[in-house]
Structure 1
Amino acid sequence: MKRFLIADDHEAVRSGLRAVLEQRADWEVVAEANDGGKAVAAAIESRPHVAIVDFSMPRMTGVEVARRIRDYPLQTEVLIFTVHNSGLIAQQAFEAGARAFLVKSDANKLLLAAVESLLVHRPFCTKSCVTEIDRGPGVDGERHHELTAREQLVVKLVAEGYSNKGISAILNLSVKTTEAHRAAAMRKLEVNSTAGLVRYAVRTGLVEA
């Protein structure tokens, strides 16, 4: 029996994916999660063969989920599932340890192919995604790539409305360290306000508009 984890903050998406996957008699969805932190915990507990993880989730991006799953001794393959046909996000996903990248608009025709590739440990990426990777990032993409993983996570949490104290509690950091990451991100992105960070997070898909 092949085991799956589905992580997406929209219940309708999770239900749809479950219905597709469980059409196969030997495939079973053993866990679901509606935010990034829960996705990592569910992966550790259920040890699925494949985790289908939305990129834009509360508290932690799908890329960070992939990175954390990779850091544990799990044999879980990660598929990043997103509305963003972004070569930059795809590149970050693969660098973090994900082995498949699928745009949600392609799911009807390519989801099963992507999952079947992962089950035999082959990477999968749509042709449109490969084209975007080959083009390379634009100006915003280059700035995005300059941020460290921790700085991106801090920006995401700022955009979700968390205070520095709240972010520190989530990431297990001191408030001073959180403030330093936030200041570094603002400097690199050349913004001088929380609103600037929020606009950037929305534009690059770190949070949904």
Structure 2
Amino acid sequence: MIRVLLVDDQRLVRVGLRMLCESDPEVEVVGEAEDGGEGVRLAAALLPDVILMDLRMPGLDGIAATRRITAARPASKVVVLTTFDDDDHLYPALSAGAFGFLAKDCPPADLLAALRRAVAGDPPFSQAVLGRLVEQAVRSRAGREPVRELPELSPREREVLGMIGAGLSNKEIAERLHLGVSTVKTYVSGLMRKTGEQNRVRLAVLAAQDLA
């Protein structure tokens, strides 16, 4: 069972999210908070697996709440769910420790899939958001760092890396390559070890540079 905490100042949004989450028999909404301060308190009391976090709220905002929650309980994955998916909100949220970032207009199925990705340790990002992250990272490296040569990778590892760059989840990669999800996780871990990159976004940046 995936235990979810909803943090959003709009009651109608919380009602809609609860209905969506509880349409999945493997998801349980354990609490709701209408501001960041209440979200921090409930996260400590309820120990959710995933926290769906709005950013703009009265009092303690979502970025500050995310920072406090991730500092106190790293096991709880904060996934930002917001109308404001611009860079002014994206990068501060990630710096605060957000594990994923979704726009509120994402398809309902994508949101439910994001909960599963988060608990599996696979950061969920809207496709447009991941694209901007990769583009910005590649731009920021240009002229400052020489383009890195990839270590020697097998054809299958290059396939997996390219699919990470395209924003596919472990499950989606497994389906396309006709592999088990655990096998894909092994490939991803191996890519991180070989390249020295610590997360999926950095692997996506390497994939973009390799294809440039």
TM interval, shorter chain, is 0.5 to 0.7
The aligned residue for residue 58 of structure 1 is 58
Change (3 A) 1:74 1:17: same
Distance 1:107 1:116 in 2: 15
Question: Residue 110 of structure 1 aligns to which amino acid in structure 2?
Answer: D
Question: Residue 44 of structure 2 aligns to which amino acid in structure 1?
Answer: I
Q: Does 1:99 align with 2:96?
A: no
The aligned residue for residue 173 of structure 1 is none
Counterparts of 1:114-153 in structure 2, within 5 Å, are: 114-134=114-134, 136=136
Contact 1:80 1:98 in 2 (8 A): yes
Question: Residue 116 of structure 2 aligns to which amino acid in structure 1?
Answer: E
Contact 1:44 1:74 in 2 (8 A): no
Distance 2:73 2:106 in 1: 31
Counterparts of 1:20-35 in structure 2, within 5 Å, are: 20-35=20-35
CA shift at 1:88, angstroms? 3.4
Contact 1:47 1:74 in 2 (8 A): no
Contact 1:6 1:53 in 2 (8 A): yes
Q: Does 1:38 align with 2:38?
A: yes
Please, what TM-score do these two structures have when normalized by structure 1? 0.61
Change (3 A) 1:131 1:74: closer
Distance 2:109 2:21 in 1: 13
Deviations, residues 58-99 of structure 1 (Å, cap 9, x unaligned):
112212111101111351000111101213322222221111
The aligned residue for residue 73 of structure 1 is 73
Contact 2:53 2:80 in 1 (8 A): yes
Contact 2:99 2:124 in 1 (8 A): yes
SS in 2 for 1:67: helix
Which has the higher Rg, Structure 1 or Structure 2?
Answer: 2
Contact 2:66 2:93 in 1 (8 A): yes
Distance 2:8 2:33 in 1: 6
Distance 1:74 1:129 in 2: 23
Q: How many residues align?
A: 137
Deviations, residues 146-188 of structure 1 (Å, cap 9, x unaligned):
xxxxxxxxxxxxxxxxxxxxxxxxxxxxxxxxxxxxxxxxxxx
Change (3 A) 1:9 1:107: farther
Distance 2:129 2:17 in 1: 21
Please, what TM-score do these two structures have when normalized by structure 2? 0.60
Question: Residue 34 of structure 1 aligns to which amino acid in structure 2?
Answer: E
Contact 1:85 1:128 in 2 (8 A): no
- Segments of 5+ residues of structure 1 without an aligned counterpart are 137-209
CA shift at 1:132, angstroms? 3.0
- Segments of 5+ residues of structure 2 without an aligned counterpart are 137-212
CA shift at 1:107, angstroms? 4.3
Question: Residue 14 of structure 2 aligns to which amino acid in structure 1?
Answer: R
Change (3 A) 1:59 1:87: same
Contact 2:2 2:115 in 1 (8 A): no
